[in-house]
Amino acid sequence: MGILSHTTGYETIKVRLEEDICFIQIHRPEANNAINDDLIREFSEVLEQCEDRAKIVVVEGTPEVFCFGADFKEIQQGVENGGRYQEQNPEPLYDLWKQLATGPYVTIAHVRGKANAGGIGFVAACDLVLCEEKAVFSLSELLFGLMPACVMPFLIRRTGFSRANYMTLMTQPIPAKQAQEWGLADACEANSENLLRKHLLRLRLLSKQAISRYKRYLQRLHDFSDKAKPHALAANIEVFSDQQNLDKIARFVKTGQFPWEGS
């Protein structure tokens, strides 16, 4: 039956299969649903199974946090453990977002609470984005000398260059209604569970074959992810190899102070 035959045994996600709909919940509540290697590996394995078994994939977080991006606590522990951090290879995460964007299924990001940094990558990679009215979206990377290098190709595809650039430079959260106006979200309601149900009822009318053919056509029409990949990976590695940036992150985790605060 494969990895979708059960819903237990995962450390970072919760998975359930309802007929031909796979629900994948990012579930690291103790770490604000931050991204680590285990999350990337488990999520990617489930998506591989979905290629044959699902025609709709719903990506969710918890009611308070969708996904908050890189796991700063892991970075801080690495910095304090000998002063160096073993840089996470950005390619598996980029490939995971490419799976969401190009896989033979309809992907839906169901956003409640906060989506930040790498969390925006999960959002922007999906075919459809549904959110509750209380959801907020942000890119905080530049505050720490980083940049949303791997997020940008997917975000630009959704919002256009100027909106993605504005979010990156300002680093401030934008509310759900503004995200909808900018094209980052497709629909927004106070009861996002009901919004999701309505969309699933309609999407279930589509055949798996039709979805697969359409997604293949879109990839041929606009192969943005392959063209941008080498530049995105190189930029990500550059900023996460800068020890000053890593020290800023470690200090923030330990003291709660942003880089411009204190001595």
**pLDDT band (50, 70, 90) for residue 87:** low
Query: Domains of the chain by range and CATH?
Result: 3-191+207-255 (3.90.226.10)
Residues assigned a catalytic role: 71, 141
The pLDDT, as a whole number, for residue 83 is 55
Looking at the predicted structure, is the pLDDT value of residue 18 above 60? yes
Looking at the predicted structure, is the pLDDT value of residue 5 above 70? no
The pLDDT, as a whole number, for residue 1 is 40
Question: pLDDT tens across 107-116, in order?
Answer: 999 999 999 9
Question: Quick one: average pLDDT of 90-96?
Answer: 97
Cα–Cα nearest to 225, from 132, 137, 153, 156: 153
* Bridge-based pairing state of the strands 174-175 and 106-111: unpaired
Average pLDDT, the chain: 94
Question: Quick one: average pLDDT of 74-100?
Answer: 84
Distance set, CA 254 to CA 76, 128, 144, 260 (Å): 8, 37, 14, 15
Half-sphere exposure of 209 (CA within 13 A, CB side): 0
Question: pLDDT tens across 115-129, in order?
Answer: 999 999 999 999 999
- Bigger pLDDT: 4 or 77? 77
Percent of the chain with pLDDT over 90: 89
The pLDDT, as a whole number, for residue 88 is 73
Question: pLDDT tens across 41-77, in order?
Answer: 999 999 999 999 999 999 999 999 999 999 999 989 8
